[in-house]
C-alpha cells in the first residue's frame, strides 16, 4: 500500500432542458402533486429530448468537469461510466463518451451498480491512481431513466429523472481526497428492483414489450426498508475506515431517492438536516447520476468548501450500497 492521496479535482453536471412537474404527471397516471411531494419530496424531474441518450448527457457533464479541473481530454487515462441505462447493451457508454470527448489516450468501461454506481466507479477509478497505473481518471454517473420508466405505473413512474454528473480524479495533497470507503452487495434482493426483459435471461420479444417488462419494476416498500437501514450502516463503516465518526462530517451527500429515506438516514447518523445536501425536489431519482449532481450543486454554490469532510452514500438495485468519505480538496 502506498501513501498517495486521491480525490476529486474537477466536477460537472448536466440535466436535460425539459422539466416534467408532478402536475404534468397527473395527466398520465393516477396520482397527485400532493401525494408525490408528501411521500417522496419530489416536485419535478428533467426528461431527455428524443434525440438525447445517456452518452450525450454524460459527455456534457464530462466537458464541464474537464474545464473545472483545467485539463484537456487527452490527459484522461481512463473513463468509467456508471449507468443502468446505457445507450446500447454494448459497446460500453464510456467508449461513446471517449469518442465524443476525443479522449485519445483513455481506456473506457462501464460499471453496473444501479444507484450506487457513481460511488462504485469513484472507488474503482481511484485505485488506478493510488496504484500508480494512471494519473487522471474521469468518473461519470449518467442516466436516461425516462426511457425505462413506465409512466402508467404510479408505483414507480413518479420517481425517476434524467441527468449526469462527472468528476475528474487525480492526486491530492496529503490528508485530502478519499479517506475511507465501504462497498457492499446482496444479490438475494435482486428481484426487488429490476428491468425484467431485454437481457439474456429474458430477451426482448413483442410479448415482453406488451407485458411492459422493458420498464423498471420495484417493490417500493422493501427497497425503502433496506435503504433506511443500509444508508446509516455503510456511512458508519466508511467513517470508521477513515478513523472518523459522524460528528466529523461537514456534509452528507446521499443518493436522492426519497426525502423520507434521506431524513431517516440522517437521523440514524445523528446528523441535523442542515448538514445534508438535498435536491430530490428538483430532479427526482436520477440513479447513478444523483450523487454527483448533488455534489456539483453543493460545491458550485459554495456550500461545500475546501477542508470539509464529505460523506457520499448510495444504495440501489443489486442490491448494492456504497459510501466514500472525503476531505474536500478543490
Burial of residue 252 (CB within 10 Å: 0-12, 13-18, 19+) is buried
35 near ligand UT7 (CB under 6 A): yes
Contact with ligand UT7 (CB under 6 A): which of 53, 122, 223, 230? 223
Q: How far apart are CA 205 and CA 207, in angstroms?
A: 5
Which of 33, 171 has the CB closer to ligand UT7? 33
- To ligand UT7, the closest distance from the beta carbon of 267 in angstroms equals 16
Is the CB of 118 or the CB of 329 nearer to ligand UT7? Answer: 118
Cell numbers 449532481: residue? 293
Interface with ligand UT7, residue 235, by CB under 6 A: no
* Inter-residue contact 71 to 168 (CB < 8 Å): yes
Total binding residues toward ligand UT7, as defined by CB under 6 A: 22
46 is catalytic: no
Q: Which residues between 39 and 78 bind ligand UT7 (CB under 6 A)?
A: 39-40
Q: Contacting ligand UT7 (CB under 6 A), which of 4, 18, 26, 31? A: 31
Give the strand pairing for 44-46 and 107-111: unpaired
Question: Is residue 109 close enough to count as binding ligand UT7 by CB under 6 A?
Answer: no
Return the HEC string of 109-146: EEECCHHHHHHHHHHHHHHHHHCCCCCCEEEEEEEEHH
7 binds ligand UT7 (CB under 6 A): no
The answer to whether residue 105 is catalytic is no
Does the protein bind ligand UT7 through residue 116 (CB under 6 A)? no
The verdict on 316 binding ligand UT7 (CB under 6 A) reads: yes
Q: What is the DSSP letter of 85?
A: S
Sheet architecture: strand order including 5-14: 5-14, 162-172, 137-144, 78-82, 107-111
Q: Tell me which stretch binds ligand UT7 (CB under 6 A): 61-69, 120-128, 134-142, 217-225.
A: 217-225
Is 115 in the active site?
yes
Residue 14 grid cell: 448536466
Binding test (CB under 6 A) with ligand UT7, winner from 154, 263, 268, 300: 154
Q: Which of 315, 305, 304, 289 is closest to 13 using CA atoms?
A: 289
Tell me the H-state helices in 27-92.
Answer: 33-40, 54-69
Rounded to an integer, what distance in angstroms lies between the CA atom of residue 291 and that of residue 119?
8
| Identified binder of ligand UT7 from the candidate list 126, 285, 323, 324, rule CB under 6 A | 285
Binding site for ligand UT7 (CB under 6 A): 31, 35-36, 39-40, 115, 154-155, 158, 193, 218, 220-221, 223-224, 227, 257-258, 261, 285, 287, 316
List, by residue number, the catalytic residues. Answer: 115, 255, 285
Amino acid at each position: 500500500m502506498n501513501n498517495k492521496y486521491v480525490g476529486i479535482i474537477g466536477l460537472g453536471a448536466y440535466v436535460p432542458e425539459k422539466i416534467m412537474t408532478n402536475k404534468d404527471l397527473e395527466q398520465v397516471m393516477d396520482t397527485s402533486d400532493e401525494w408525490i411531494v408528501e411521500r417522496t419530496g419530489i416536485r419535478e424531474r428533467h426528461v431527455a429530448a428524443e434525440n438525447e441518450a445517456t452518452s450525450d448527457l454524460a459527455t456534457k457533464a464530462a466537458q464541464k468537469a474537464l474545464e473545472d479541473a483545467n485539463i484537456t481530454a487527452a490527459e484522461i487515462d481512463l473513463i468509467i461510466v456508471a449507468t443502468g441505462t446505457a445507450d446500447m447493451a454494448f459497446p460500453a457508454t464510456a467508449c461513446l463518451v471517449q469518442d465524443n470527448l476525443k479522449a485519445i489516450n483513455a481506456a473506457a468501461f462501464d460499471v453496473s451498480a444501479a444507484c450506487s454506481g457513481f460511488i462504485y466507479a469513484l472507488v474503482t477509478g481511484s485505485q488506478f491512481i493510488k496504484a500508480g497505473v494512471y494519473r487522471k481518471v474521469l468518473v461519470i454517473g449518467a442516466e436516461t431513466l425516462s426511457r425505462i420508466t413506465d409512466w402508467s405505473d404510479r408505483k414507480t413512474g413518479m420517481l425517476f429523472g434524467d441527468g449526469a454528473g462527472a468528476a475528474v480524479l487525480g492526486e491530492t495533497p496529503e490528508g485530502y481526497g478519499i479517506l475511507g470507503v465501504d462497498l457492499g452487495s446482496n444479490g438475494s434482493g435482486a428481484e426487488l428492483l429490476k428491468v425484467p426483459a431485454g437481457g439474456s435471461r429474458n430477451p426482448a420479444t413483442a410479448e415482453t414489450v406488451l407485458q411492459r417488462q422493458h420498464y423498471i419494476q420495484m417493490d417500493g416498500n422493501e427497497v425503502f426498508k433496506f435503504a433506511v437501514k443500509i444508508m446509516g450502516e455503510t456511512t458508519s463503516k466508511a467513517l470508521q475506515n477513515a478513523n472518523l465518526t459522524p460528528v466529523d462530517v461537514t456534509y452528507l451527500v446521499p443518493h436522492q431517492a426519497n426525502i423520507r429515506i434521506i431524513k431517516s438516514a440522517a437521523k440514524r447518523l445523528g446528523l441535523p438536516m442542515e448538514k445534508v445536501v438535498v435536491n430530490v425536489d428538483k430532479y427526482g431519482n436520477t440513479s447513478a447520476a444523483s450523487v454527483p449532481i448533488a455534489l456539483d450543486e453543493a460545491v458550485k454554490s459554495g456550500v461545500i468548501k475546501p477542508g470539509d469532510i464529505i460523506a457520499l452514500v448510495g444504495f440501489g438495485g443489486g442490491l448494492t450500497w456504497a459510501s466514500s468519505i472525503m476531505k474536500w480538496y478543490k
